[in-house]
Amino acid sequence: MKKEKVRERIIRVASELFYKQGYNSTGINQIIAEADIAIGSLYNHFSSKNDLLQAYLVKEELGWFEGFENSVSKISEPKEKILALIDYRKKLQETSKFAGCQFIKIVSEIGEGNPSVSGFARQHKEKQKEVIRTIVNEYAAQTKQADPDLLAENIFLLIEGAVITSTINRENNSFDQVKKLVQGLLP
C-alpha cells in the first residue's frame, strides 16, 4: 500500500474534522495531533487554517463531481441521469449518516464573514445546477420540453430541499418524494 503523503493526510484529517464537528470547533492543534505531524509540517503545506479550509472545499468539490460522474457513466438517457443524480445525493446522505452537504454546512457556519469561502460554496452550487441544466437541455431537445431552465432550477431546488430535510429528519424519504416529483416533471 502506498504511504499517504503528509499534505494529503492533513487535508483528509482536516476534512473529517471540519465536516464532523465544524470548522470553528476544529483547532489547528487537534488537526496536528490527529494527523500525527509536527506543527512545522502543517505550516509547510498551509499558511493558515483558512488555506486548509480552501483545500478541504476543493477536495470535496472534486470528490462530489467525480462521484456523480461515476454514478452516471453508464447511463445515456437524460431522464435516467437526473434520477441517478437524486440517487447519488441520497447515497451521500446515507454514507455520511445524514450529516448534510459540506458546502451548506460551511456557509451556515461562516456566513459572509469569509467571502472567498462563501463564494466558493456558491460557485459549487452553481456548478451543480449547471450539471442539471445540461442534462435537462438534453432531455428537452429529445422531448420538446418547454422552459428547460425553469425545469432545471426546480429540480435543483427539490434536490437541495431533500438534502436539508433528510439532514434534519435523519432519514431519506424526501429523496423518494423528489424522485416521484421529478418523474412527473419529466414525462
pTM above 0.85, yes or no: yes
Segment 31-53, tens digit of pLDDT? 999 999 998 989 999 999 999 99
pLDDT of residue 3: 62
Secondary structure (3-state) at 146: coil
Name the band, by pLDDT with cuts 50, 70 and 90, for residue 130: very high
Name the band, by pLDDT with cuts 50, 70 and 90, for residue 1: very low
Secondary structure (3-state) at 26: coil
For the ranges 12-26, 52-66, 135-149, which has the lowest average pLDDT? 135-149
Cβ atoms 37, 29 nearer than 8 A: no
> What cell was used for 4?
499517504
Secondary structure (3-state) at 96: coil
